[in-house]
Amino acid sequence: MKDEKRLAVREFTHWSKGYDRSILQWLLFSPSHQALIKRIREVAGDRPTRLLDVGCGTGVFAALVRSTLPNVQVWGIDLVGGMLEKGRARWQEHRGRVLPVQGDSENLPFETGVFDLVTCANSFHHYPRQDRAVQEMARVLRPGGRLLLIDGYRDNIWGWFIYDVCVSTVEQCVHHASAGRFRALFSDAGLGSVVQHVHHGPAPFILNEGIAPAGVPRPHFGGLRVATSRPSIDEVGRGD
Ligand SMILES: C[S@@+](CC[C@H](N)C(=O)[O-])C[C@H]1O[C@@H](n2cnc3c(N)ncnc32)[C@H](O)[C@@H]1O
C-alpha cells in the first residue's frame, strides 16, 4: 500500500474511536449529509434505488439514508477496518439494507454498471489517485446513474484557509480539489451534465454532480480490471 494510504489508515484507525463525537459532525459532516439527502430525494423520489457510499466511515450517512429514504438500499465501502468496526451497531441495526464492505475507492470491488447512485462525502481529499477514484465511481454507475460527490470547498479565501492551510497541516497528504479540477475529473471519467453547488458556512463544501452516459461505450475504462473478475453486489453483500 502506498504511503499516503498508509497514513489514511493510521489516521482513521486512531480517529475512529472518537469520530462520531467529533465537532466536525456538527460543523461539516451533518450539513453535507443533509445536502446529499435532499438531492437524493429530488432525483430518486420513492423509486427503489441502489446506492454506493464511497468512504462511508462509521456509517452515519448510510444510517441517515435508511431512516429517511426507505426505498434506498445502501452499500458502504471504506478503506479502514477500524471505521467500519466502529459503526458495527449501525450496520447491525440496518442489517440487510445497509451492507458494509472494506475496500479502496480506487479499485471498487463491484461489477460495472450496477448502482443508480454513488455518493462520496468528505473523503475524496484522502485519495492519492483522484482520477482513478472518479473513473471507478463512474464505472459502477448504470447508464443514467448519478455521482454525488461532496468535499471541502477551497476556492475562496476562507475555504482555502480552512482546507489548504488548517486541514492540510493537521492531516498530511490531503488534496482538496478545486471546482475546476472536479469538472475536469468528471469529464475525463465520461460523466456528463455536471452541476456544482457551493454551500457556504463555517466549513464550506461543494456538491459535484454528474451523470453516467446512457448506452455509450466508455473506452477509457479499458485499463481497469475486467468486470467479470468482480463479485456481483449480491455476493458482496451476503453474510454481512
Ligand atoms: C472524514 S471521513 C468521512 C466519512 C463519511 N463519508 C462521512 O461523511 O461521515 C473519511 C473516510 O474516508 C475513508 N478513506 C480514506 N481513504 C480511502 C480510500 N482510499 N478508499 C476508501 N475510503 C477511504 C476513511 O477511512 C474515512 O472513513
Instruction: Write the pLDDT tens digit of every residue in 178-187.
Output: 999 999 999 9
Amino acid at 189: A
- Pocket perturbation via mutation, ligand 1, pick of 79, 132, 163 by most ligand atoms within 8 A of CB: 79
Residue 220 has pLDDT above 80, yes or no: no
Q: Give the Å distance between the CA of 78 and the centre of ligand 1.
A: 6
Rg (C-alpha) for the chain, rounded Å, is: 17
Provide mean pLDDT across the span 193-222: 83
Provide mean pLDDT across the span 169-193: 96
* Angle separating helix axes 30-44 and 60-68, nearest 10 degrees: 40
Residue 216 has pLDDT above 80, yes or no: no
- The H or E element spanning position 233 is helix 233-237
Nearest CA among 93, 92, 138, 97 for reference residue 118: 138
Distance CA 132, CA 2 (A): 14
Number of H helices and E strands in the chain, helices first, is 11, 7
Q: Give the Å distance between the CA of 149 and the centre of ligand 1.
A: 12
Q: Which three cell numbers stand for residue 152?
A: 471541502
At 203, is the pLDDT very low, low, confident or very high (cuts 50, 70, 90)? very high
Helix (H, G, I), strand (E, B) or coil at 192: strand
Distance CA 175, CA 123 (A): 10
Instruction: State the chain's mean pLDDT as an integer.
Output: 89
Distance CA 210, CA 72 (A): 19
Instruction: Write the pLDDT tens digit of every residue in 57-113.
Output: 999 999 999 999 999 999 999 999 999 999 999 999 999 999 999 999 999 999 999
Domains along the chain with CATH numbers = 3-237 (3.40.50.150)
Instruction: Write the pLDDT tens digit of every residue in 1-34.
Output: 678 899 899 988 988 888 888 888 887 899 999 9
Provide mean pLDDT across the span 131-136: 98
pTM: 0.90
Q: In what order do the strands lie in the sheet with 49-54?
A: 98-102, 72-78, 49-54, 115-121, 141-152, 205-211, 192-199
Between residues 227 and 7, which one has the greater pLDDT?
7
Residue 229 has pLDDT above 60, yes or no: no
User: Would you state the pLDDT for residue 224?
Assistant: 28
User: Would you state the pLDDT for residue 124?
Assistant: 98
Q: Give the Å distance between the CA of 167 and the centre of ligand 1.
A: 15
Q: Which residues have C-beta atoms less than 6 Å from ligand 1?
A: 5, 8, 12, 29, 55-57, 60-61, 78-80, 83, 104-106, 121-123, 126-127
User: Would you state the pLDDT for residue 199?
Assistant: 97
Provide mean pLDDT across the span 128-146: 98
Q: Which atom of ligand 1 is nearest to the CA of 104?
A: 20
- Pocket perturbation via mutation, ligand 1, pick of 6, 65, 78 by most ligand atoms within 8 A of CB: 78
